Amino acid sequence: MPDDILLEDLPLTVPPSRYAWIPASVNGVTTRFSVDQVLALTQGSDVQDLDVEMAAKLTGAPAKTSLADADDLFGADSAAGFGLIKYTLANLVSSIFKTGRKIANAYFLSSARFWDATDNTKGLAFDLTAISTAATRTLKMANRDTDLGKLGWELISETNISSAVAAVDLVNVLSTTFDDYAIEFDNIAGSAANIFMMRLSTDAGASWISTGYYYSSVVSQTAGATGAQVTGATQFSVSSTTMIANTAGFCGTMKLRRAPTKRHFEIPAFFTASGGESVLSVIGGAIAQQADSLRFFMGSGNITAGTIRVYGIRKG
């Protein structure tokens, strides 16, 4: 009988028996175990001790509160019989947020950011500080594609008048960014009984156009409405008739349109006229100039109170 016998040369035990012998080596000494003995090892205290030891190793490992993308984690592969696998934190995160995955009932801190896919210097942040404590606000989406850059009014300029000024100049408020503008007047008053007026500039306020203004107006009066058509004027009339001194309370919103070769406007307004009566006026006008700036002033005296806001209306 040869000294070396290959395992594949040994005869098979059919059927397998718990009492069949298995060759083994213990501390360099050749020996044998029965199948029954090997099974006993898998059910005895040695295996239990291994569980305890592994648990102790895991719970006793150094803590790391800020994981790196390259840190290794371990798991079982469901696609390969749940065999042991390792993966990085970066693998885990990209798998969680993969295309098409839906995550329900997730909460993110307002410090979360969205970054541009091709340029991570471009980010979108969230500011929720204005929301009341314990309140949740809902941003509701319309059933259409929406470009936020084309929605609503953008405040361009705000002037609060608390002391007398001869004029309010709004320089370079008209640009190619917007085609339409809304100019809001809140409680405008003048030191003298006169008409509230407007001029335009094409050179950022270095000079103000004093010819070529055309407008039409209608104003309510105690005796009935009156109207006027004016051509070639030296300025636009905004109030259409004389306001009472100091307490006119002129309020209205002008729509100013920035056409390619001219500027035209319409404004309904309410105020107290010089005779003390409350009036409603409507004016529309145009000038064939590509103006970039606005000036508001009284026909005589100063503007003494009020607020003027200019909004750009989004193209869309």
- Within 10 angstroms of residue 169's Cβ, the number of other Cβ atoms is 18
Span of 16-30, 46-60, 150-164, 176-190 with lowest mean pLDDT: 46-60
**pLDDT above 60 (res 1):** no
Q: Domains of the chain by range and CATH?
A: 10-57 (no CATH), 153-313 (2.60.120)
- The predicted-structure confidence for 63-80, as pLDDT tens digits, reads as follows 888 989 999 888 888 988
**pLDDT above 90 (res 53):** no
CA distance 118 to 116: 6
- The pLDDT, as a whole number, for residue 27 is 82
- The predicted-structure confidence for 225-269, as pLDDT tens digits, reads as follows 888 999 999 999 999 899 999 999 999 999 999 888 899 999 999
- Within 10 angstroms of residue 178's Cβ, the number of other Cβ atoms is 21
**pLDDT above 60 (res 45):** no
- The pLDDT, as a whole number, for residue 291 is 94
Where residue 145 falls among pLDDT bands split at 50, 70, 90?
A: confident
Phi–psi pair at 28, nearest 5 degrees: 85, 0
More confident residue, 199 or 36: 199
DSSP per-residue codes, the chain: --S---GGGSPP-SS--TT-EEEEEETTEEEEEEHHHHHHHHHSHHHHHHHHHHHHHHHTSPP-SS--TT-EEEEEETTTTTEEEEEEHHHHHHHHT-TT----S----TT--EE-SS-TT-EE----TTSPTT-----PPPSS---GGGSSEEEEEEEEE-S-BSEEEETT---TT-SEEEEEEEEEEESSS--EEEEEESSTTSS---S-EEEEEEE--TT--EEEEEEEESSEESSSSPBPTTT--EEEEEEEEE-SS-EEEEEEEEEEBTTS-EEEEEEEEEESS---EEEEEESSS-EEEEEEEEEEEPP-
- The pLDDT, as a whole number, for residue 2 is 55
| Contacting residues for 307 by C-beta, under 8 A, at least 6 apart | 158, 159, 160, 161, 184, 185, 186, 187
- The pLDDT, as a whole number, for residue 260 is 83
**pLDDT above 60 (res 299):** yes
- The pLDDT, as a whole number, for residue 8 is 67
CA distance 166 to 296: 9
- The predicted-structure confidence for 167-223, as pLDDT tens digits, reads as follows 999 999 999 888 899 999 999 999 999 999 999 999 999 999 999 999 999 999 888
- The pLDDT, as a whole number, for residue 121 is 92
More confident residue, 152 or 173: 173
- Within 10 angstroms of residue 253's Cβ, the number of other Cβ atoms is 15
Distances in whole angstroms, Cα of residue 192 to Cα of each of 79, 179, 297: 87, 35, 11
Mean pLDDT score of the chain: 88
Distances in whole angstroms, Cα of residue 199 to Cα of each of 24, 160, 249, 301: 106, 19, 21, 16
Tokens of 100: 């098409």
